[in-house]
A and B are shown apart, each in its own frame.
With several copies, the nearest count.
Chain A
Amino acid sequence: MRGPHSPNCGRSGMAERAPSLFAEDRPAPERALIVDIEGFEGPLDLLLNLARTQKVDLRRLSILALAEQYLAFIEGIRAHRIELAADYLVMAAWLAYLKSRLLLPPDPAEEGPSSDEIAAHLAFQLERLEAMRQAAAALMARNRLGRDIFARGIPEAVESRRTLRWTAGLLDLMQGYARVRSRDAFRPYAFDRRDVCTMENALERMRAVLGTQIGWSRLEDFLPEEWRGDPRRRRSATAAHFAAALELTRQGRIGLRQSAPFAPIEIGPGAPR
């Protein structure tokens, strides 16, 4: 693995990575001067390898000796002018500090964990990493599906027979009805054709009647019988016929007259052209 390694013990790397869940996806930044030291996966991996050379139980590991081994290793690498990933250097600095503390008698005035506690924690981390590696190996050595054990080769599909059940509650019903009724109230205004007499209709009617009409008669007499009853229909027909009469007057086909404001409008012969 070659990534910007995080120092395991000096935790500064954690905060940096925090914003991104998958930080290592970024293109390798320039600051990551990576050297793959014999394939070690970061300083902890290297430490674990060095610890193994002590050939003792990890719990009885000499952290002091380990720190010295690590520092010597890093020195050796640097002597070859190989640039190391920052993680390795951070770990080196941290171990150098730990080593100095381990060599000095404990200072009772000093706050924080003792050097022994810190050393014990490092030993714990190494032991835990080792344990996880062994667990991983044990896991992978198990009989595995598709390699050692096998599932049914011709699984039989379960056929689903689907029955649809439609449901609606009383509230749905009420809301549905309310919706229909409200829609009436809010419906954008549109002509209800059934009760609307169009000017085209009126023109057609009046043209047909013109041939037989000689004297003056009231506009309302031109309204078709079926449009005279209902006031709404009557209003619509009156308006349409009035508009049609204006049009025919403009064409000189008929004449229009009204004796006084609001007096009946009369239609008669047009002024000859």
Chain B
Amino acid sequence: MTDPAEPDLFRVPDLHEQERMVEAILFASAEPLGATQIEARMPRGSDVPEALAALARRYEGRGVVLMRLGEAWAFRTAPDLGHLMQREVVETRKLSRAAIETLAIIAYHQPVTRAEIEEIRGVALSRGTLDQLLELDWIRLGRRRMSPGRPVTFVVTPAFLDHFGLASARDLPGLADLRAAGLLDNRPLPGLGGGAGDDEAAEDPAVADDQADLFDV
């Protein structure tokens, strides 16, 4: 090697230079290095322990510290700055179709039982869907229905109203509004009094009252 950049190999560099060298070697190494391993890469006659000690002092209190790991040395992030190595990622995701529909049914039909939701959606409700909505604090348990089995009902929460910018559940657009907005076809649908699931509700005067509260303003 006659590289002019390497004259240092043949004279012992001063301690400051040795410190620079140890710093670069440790920085670039893919693993912690022991003093002898460092020595093997340094110019002959270098005092590696001395250079390591000087380097450790220099990094004291810095954002990165020179750590002794057993017999080996490595740079590591200062322990008090560990939180910088964590990134808070807030991922925004759209609610699933099942969750949206379930939420909509609860909002429009509240208080409504699980069986009624399934009846209206025409498919069984997975446990996760209600759990997710409960966890989001968008629905909560209402009073139990006074019917066989005394099933629990679900209603929407103030947090729901808040998220959707509604002053009250009454502000939800009615079916006529949905139809006017083109979201429903013009065919007269089995309205709130007619369709499946509403039958049960109709049998329950309490529900009918609730519905009236919600929609017939």
Do A and B share a direct contact in the complex (Cβ within 8 angstroms)?
A: yes
Question: In the complex, what distance in Å separates the CA atom of A42 from the CA atom of B120?
Answer: 12
Return chain A residues, CB-CB under 8 Å to B89: 146-147, 160-163
* 24 A-B contacts (beta carbon < 8 Å): A11-B194, A22-B131, A24-B124, A25-B127, A127-B181, A131-B178, A132-B120, A133-B104, A142-B166, A143-B82, A144-B163, A146-B92, A150-B76, A151-B74, A156-B29, A157-B28, A158-B86, A160-B86, A177-B104, A180-B105, A182-B185, A182-B189, A183-B122, A184-B196
CB within 8 Å of B: which A84-140 residues: 87, 112-113, 117-118, 121, 124-125, 127-129, 131-136, 138-140
Task: Tell me the minimal C-beta distance from B77 to chain A in angstroms.
Answer: 4
- What A residues does B178 contact at CB under 8 A? 131, 135, 174, 177-178, 181
**B residues near A43, Cβ cutoff 8 Å:** 122
Contact with A along B180-199 (1 / 0, CB 8 A): 01111101011110111100
Binds B, one of A66-74, A164-172, A237-245, A258-266: A164-172
Cβ < 8 Å to A, chain B residues 21-47: 24, 27-32, 41
A149 touches B76 (CB 8 A): yes
- A177 with B91, Cβ < 8 A, contacts A134-B174, A145-B162, A150-B76 known: no
From A41, A148, A185, give the contact of B79 (CB < 8 A): A148
Q: How far is the CA of A140 from the CA of B32 in the complex (A)?
A: 21
Closest to A131 in B: B183
Q: Which B residues are CB-close (under 8 A) to A25?
A: 126-128
State whether the Cβ of A204 lies closer than 8 Å to any Cβ in chain B.
no
B31 touches A125 (CB 8 A): no
Interface check B114, CB cutoff 8 A:
yes
**Which chain A residues lie closer than 8 Å to B31 at the CB level?**
151, 153-155
Number of A positions contacting B (CB below 8 A): 88
Residues in chain A within 8 A of chain B (CB atoms) = 1, 3-6, 8-9, 11, 13-15, 17-18, 21-25, 41-45, 87, 112-113, 117-118, 121, 124-125, 127-129, 131-136, 138-140, 142-170, 172-185, 187, 192
Task: Verify A138–B173 contact, CB threshold 8 A.
Answer: yes
Q: Which residues of B contact A149 (CB under 8 A)?
A: 67, 76-79, 82, 165
